Amino acid sequence: METSSRYLTDQQAADYGAFCNQRITHTQFQNTYAKVANFHLAGKFAYVPGIMTLVGETGAGKSSVVDDYCRDANAKYERHAVVSIVVRESSSVKDLAAGMLRALGDPLCGKGTKESMERRIAEYANYNDVEMFIFDEFQHLTNRGQSARSFDAADWLKTQVEVLRRPFLFVGLPEVDNIFSLNAQLETRRKERVQLAPFNTDTADGTKEAAMFFYMLNQGLPLPNQKASALLDLDYVGRVVSRCGGLVGYMTKVVQYAVKTALLDEADTLRWEHIEGALDDLGGVTFEVGLGAVRPEVQKKKTRKGKTRQVEEANNGVF
């Protein structure tokens, strides 16, 4: 739909911003949040709290759960009881240590030997009374072609679980499981594995959950006639779920785009043509859910000088 020559009014922009800012805590979201909370709370009293993994496809809602839990837990305790670290791609042991120190507030987070950094991590964690560590984008440790570095980094984290004696939550794509399959000692410390699955309208329960998600999304619709909204039509809901692979992040993005179009059209409600136009402009999920996280294979080939180099080849055409 062509909307480039039209502009939102200040009121429309404010209403649209409020709509985009709302968090829909659907059933899976609530269940996952509760599991993270219980892991955290039980870990405060366990001598060896261990590890939990939270996995899901891109757009499944993992980061939303983590963001909400960190915000709520830290507001409750009025301190950073839960510390979140983003794992950078191909992280080394020192990268992970620096990330932990940065999150703990160390102004010299990248300085020092591994031993001195480990000592400071323990000191900061004790001083700040940290209760749980969360590592987001944990799949970055599973990059092929970096197996030795990945194993060392994961093994180092295993040691930190033992030394710090706090719950560790690893969050990422399903390939997070790869690092556990290669490190038996890490696997023995995993107490729970939680997966955020896409909506599936092929089942009655899945259809009900998807319908409830769109109903809750529709409650905040910044348009006059919410009752006539296409978000309440099960047939339209099924089409959106199918085009977006059942992934919350993609479905939400499509609906938000459609709502902006409806506001620019000065429509009284959200119609299917608005949603269809958003799907056409943004596109649905183009990868097969369950395979989107597969990385390119890395093979070693000899150059003309006899040296070896790493060459990435597409695995099933997915990058």
Q: Spell out the per-residue pLDDT of the chain, length 319, in tens.
A: 455 578 999 999 999 999 999 999 999 999 999 999 999 999 999 988 999 999 999 999 999 999 999 999 998 877 789 999 999 988 889 999 999 999 999 999 999 999 999 999 999 999 999 999 999 999 988 754 456 666 788 889 999 999 999 999 999 999 999 888 878 888 999 999 999 999 999 999 999 999 999 999 999 999 999 999 999 999 999 999 999 999 999 999 999 999 999 999 999 999 999 999 999 999 878 766 654 444 444 444 444 445 444 444 333 333 2
Structure tokens at 178: 């790869």
Taking alpha carbons only, the member of 85, 231, 246 closest to residue 168 is: 85
Q: Which CATH number fits domain 27-195: 3.30.70.2190, 1.20.1090.10, 3.40.50.300, 3.10.300.10?
A: 3.40.50.300
Query: According to the model, what pLDDT value does residue 253 have?
Result: 96
Q: What phi and psi values does residue 315 have, to the nearest 5 degrees?
A: -100, 110
Query: According to the model, what pLDDT value does residue 287 have?
Result: 66
Strand extents, DSSP E, the chain: 51-56, 82-86, 132-136, 168-172, 190-196, 297-302, 308-313
On whether the pTM is more than 0.75, the answer is yes
Task: Kindly list the domain boundaries of the chain, sorted by start residue.
Answer: 27-195, 199-282
Could you give the CA distance from residue 251 to residue 72 in angstroms, rounded to a whole number? Answer: 25
Query: According to the model, what pLDDT value does residue 300 have?
Result: 45
Query: According to the model, what pLDDT value does residue 76 have?
Result: 80
All residues at 6 or more sequence positions from 318 whose CB lies less than 8 Å from its CB, including other chains: 287, 288, 291, 292, 294
Cα 176 to chain centroid distance, Å, stands at 12
| Residue 18: C-alpha distances to residues 15, 72, 89, 220, 259 (Å) | 5, 20, 33, 8, 12
